[in-house]
A and B are shown apart, each in its own frame.
Chain A
């Protein structure tokens, strides 16, 4: 049996497996998307955010 048939028979054939697979995929995808976007945001704004420049100021306070 080819790989596509394996996918079809295990996931797509029954709605009882298809819908949970969609929800699980949505969960995983949203987490992955969040991580990716945050990583991109941090790299794009490198050196501008408080967590990057905190060391310059926090030591003075203590």
Chain B
């Protein structure tokens, strides 16, 4: 588009103007000033004085009049005049028309976007969960270790009213084949008033068989069977008395003898500790 050049001459108010060289220009003082006729002069006209065609200064009855002719560029609102039959003017005529590519209905797109976000969340949550759980599995004992950690006892070899001590994971385990009177005695006790209240039924799977860890809960000695004031076990180290159900009755021990996890296989007459 060609720029429109408008040439216009007008009068601007006389004022002191600064020349391009930075020297203040006060033209009214001596309009026909000539340079001094010494060695510093370079000619008959002053070099710093604008040419007469560009600027002229005259003295008139109205005062000093300074005229400067210059070309003013058109400023302000400049508009192409278009005929009413011409093409529709767009806001930005250079931008192509994208309306063909736009979705007529954005609801589907929105749902799809959220669906993809949610799917990513599902996968991430699943991965995070399995990372944590798989890591925790590495901390548990492996199957071969668990298999070695079991001990099998033939129950038929233990007569009624006898104790058997077996070794399980480096610790002694008491197995007692209790008589009917012992079972009755264990149940008769007022267990709620004991130091570590526990019913006999909570400590055995079959009342005939009492299986306990043979480690005194006080300082870890091995109690002696069929001894003590309560007909159960007695710890010789510091004098803890356990009853026929392995519950602490007297002495320094704080809790009852511990019960390991075990399985009674009545059909085959076997006890598996571990």
**Could you tell me which A residues sit within 8 Å of B by CB distance?**
2, 4-5, 7-8, 11-12, 18-19, 21-23, 25-26, 29-30, 33
Contacts and interface: CB of A to CB of B under 8 A. Distances in A.
A7 B111 contact: yes
A52 to B, nearest CB: 19
A20 B48 CA distance: 85
Interface of B: 107-108, 110-112, 114-115, 118-119, 121-123, 125-126, 129-130
Most chain A beta-carbon contacts within 10 A, residue among B123, B126, B129: B126
A18 B118 contact: yes
24 contacts: A2-B107, A4-B110, A4-B111, A4-B112, A5-B111, A7-B111, A7-B115, A8-B110, A8-B111, A11-B118, A12-B114, A18-B114, A19-B121, A21-B118, A22-B118, A22-B121, A22-B122, A25-B118, A25-B121, A26-B125, A26-B126, A26-B129, A30-B129, A30-B130
B216 to A, nearest CB: 42
Given A4-B112, A7-B115, A18-B118, A23 B107 contact: no
Nearest to B119: A25
Most chain B beta-carbon contacts within 10 A, residue among A2, A18, A26: A26
B125 A23 contact: yes
Contacts of A8: 107, 110-111, 114
A7 B126 CA distance: 22
A19 B125 CA distance: 11
A19 to B, nearest CB: 8
Given A12-B118, A30-B130, A22 B108 contact: no
Given A7-B115, A8-B114, A29 B122 contact: yes
What are the 4 A-B residue pairs with the smallest beta carbon separation, nearest first?
A26-B125, A4-B111, A12-B114, A22-B121
B133 to A, nearest CB: 9
A26 B125 CA distance: 6
B247 to A, nearest CB: 43
A4 B115 CA distance: 10
